[in-house]
Structure 1
Amino acid sequence: MTLRTGLMAVTLMICGGSFGGCINSSGGLENRAVWSESATPAAFDGAASNSGQIARAVDTYTAAATPGNAGYKVGPQDVLDVSVFQVPELTRSVQVSDIGTVNLPLVGEVAAAGKTSREIERDLASKLGAKYVRSPQVTVFVKEYNSQRVTVEGAVKKPGVYPVRGKNSLTQFIAMAEGLDHDTASSTVVVFRSNEGKRYAAKFDIKEIMAGRADDPPIQQDDIIVVDSSTSKEVFSYLVKALPAVAVFSLLQ
């Protein structure tokens, strides 16, 4: 299934009557993105009245959207910065191979894919400490998140799939796509996201963000960013109108 076909399938499902996820907008949430775990407007309205719950939801969204968090699992083609305290010859940048390993002096090949940086630190410390270095202090940072991708579509100059490198925001991915196509772009951007098998979407005003009047939301791996345009198909335009006016992630299915 192509990206455009997938988007059409999602939007056709919504336009076919499954509006449970197109939750109503609520005052006081402008420019903030939150997860709505319910598909019903009434449930969301109740949550919106609880400022503490909203604040926790924002924190949860921000943490989940940050690839540099401690739970990030390394993948093939990621680049790691490895350092061993007081052993400079072991300090270097290494790229994870297609089979998910890194090759380092003394210890040879070490499995990295599917592990967090902390888990890789422990593995390296164990291998180095067994034969070569007494009580090694190993630090591993993810320098480039090349195994993670974000798709940018719609009214941008260079639509495509782009790597997640560090903590990237919406405007940074728009910049990677060489900016808006000003001949056709509107101010509306929709971010599609999957979480635990569920599909969400949120609407943002990119011009307000670029002007500094709205927060620039963090983007996470596998997000699909679609910049609305004057030439958008009717079904997508219908979805844009159905989403809340504020930056709320609404359940689609």
Structure 2
Amino acid sequence: MAACAKRETVPVASSLPEADPVTEALGRSEYLIGPSDLLTVAVFQVKDLDREVRVNNAGQISLPLIGGVHVAGRTVGEAEAEIATRYRDRYLQDPQVSVFVKEFSSQRVTVSGAVKKPGIYPMSSRLTLVQSLALAEGLSDIGSERNVLVFRTVDGERKFARFDVAAIARGENEDPEIYGDDLIIVDTSAGKVTLKTLVQLTPFVAVWRAYR
């Protein structure tokens, strides 16, 4: 019981640890494209070839002249190179192709606990903690603004940090960025959700220690 009581007093964090490499690359050049992602493909000085396309379940996009191109599991740079090669081999002398990930639908965040609409939400863009809570329509009547837990996988280990969203709303603390596969749990004012969650997950999670 003493150990459980101690876990209820986890300090409020000011930041989150970096996620595993694939997850933290959301929106960056290392991000791996996935099914349902929405891409903007542009070929320099050839406007007729510009397209906004969504990756299908097979991991492909369809482009003018060259048809289906498999892009799932590839970085933005790799997708650009593949598309450029296809156009170069058949139609264009030196195509310059740019790919931009407009919606990251293959990435999701889970929001649970004392929120109005718990669920798993696709990340169509970069999200902060407050924005993620808004996807779940905010805290319920019994939700605790001072006890919002974020679980994240770091180097294969599940870790967590506690945030005070009231302080974030007042501008006193930074609003941390949320990555795909993060789990957000809002505690109740009585502290029941936090206690139950930590007991269930221990020893599979560890407290992020940067704020101690």
Relative to the length of structure 1, the TM-score reads: 0.70
Identify the structure with the greater strand proportion.
Answer: 2
Identify the structure with the greater helix proportion.
Answer: 1
What is residue 97 of structure 1 aligned with on the other side? 56
Unmatched segments (≥5 aa) in structure 1: 1-13, 36-59, 241-247
Greater shift in the superposed pair: 66-75 or 231-240? 231-240
What is residue 31 of structure 1 aligned with on the other side? 14
The residue correspondences of 1:66-77 to structure 2 (distance < 5 A) are: 67-77=26-36
What is residue 90 of structure 2 aligned with on the other side? 131
What is residue 71 of structure 2 aligned with on the other side? 112
What is residue 38 of structure 2 aligned with on the other side? 79
What is residue 185 of structure 2 aligned with on the other side? 226
What is residue 10 of structure 1 aligned with on the other side? none
Separation (CA, whole Å) in 1 of partners of 2:55 and 2:154? 26
Residue 103 of structure 2 aligns to which amino acid in structure 1?
Answer: E
Q: How many residues align?
A: 195
1:90 offset after TM fit, Å?
1.0
Contact 1:101-1:112 at 8 Å conserved across structures:
yes
1:79 offset after TM fit, Å?
0.5
1:200 to 149, 156, 159: 159
What is residue 42 of structure 1 aligned with on the other side? none
SS at match of 1:213: coil
Separation (CA, whole Å) in 1 of partners of 2:15 and 2:190? 28
1:133 offset after TM fit, Å?
1.4
Separation (CA, whole Å) in 1 of partners of 2:84 and 2:128? 34
Note closer, same or farther for the CA distance 1:111–1:126 as it changes in structure 2 (3 Å cut).
Answer: same
Separation (CA, whole Å) in 2 of partners of 1:82 and 1:214? 38
The CA RMSD over aligned residues, in Å, is: 2.7
1:94 offset after TM fit, Å?
0.4
Note closer, same or farther for the CA distance 1:132–1:199 as it changes in structure 2 (3 Å cut).
Answer: same
Relative to the length of structure 2, the TM-score reads: 0.82
Contact 1:76-1:146 at 8 Å conserved across structures:
yes
Residue 144 of structure 2 aligns to which amino acid in structure 1?
Answer: S
The residue correspondences of 1:1-253 to structure 2 (distance < 5 A) are: 31-33=14-16, 35=17, 65=24, 67-181=26-140, 183-187=141-145, 188-230=147-189, 232-233=191-192, 236=195, 239=198, 249=208
Identity of aligned residues (%): 44
SS at match of 1:178: coil
Runs of 4+ in 1 over 6 A off after TM superposition: none
Contact 1:190-1:226 at 8 Å conserved across structures:
yes
Contact 1:150-1:161 at 8 Å conserved across structures:
yes
1:70 offset after TM fit, Å?
1.3
Separation (CA, whole Å) in 1 of partners of 2:75 and 2:62? 17
Residue 179 of structure 1 aligns to which amino acid in structure 2?
Answer: G
Note closer, same or farther for the CA distance 1:99–1:71 as it changes in structure 2 (3 Å cut).
Answer: same
Residue 102 of structure 2 aligns to which amino acid in structure 1?
Answer: K
Note closer, same or farther for the CA distance 1:134–1:197 as it changes in structure 2 (3 Å cut).
Answer: same
Contact 1:128-1:136 at 8 Å conserved across structures:
yes
Residue 14 of structure 2 aligns to which amino acid in structure 1?
Answer: N
1:180 offset after TM fit, Å?
1.4
Contact 1:83-1:91 at 8 Å conserved across structures:
yes
1:80 offset after TM fit, Å?
0.4
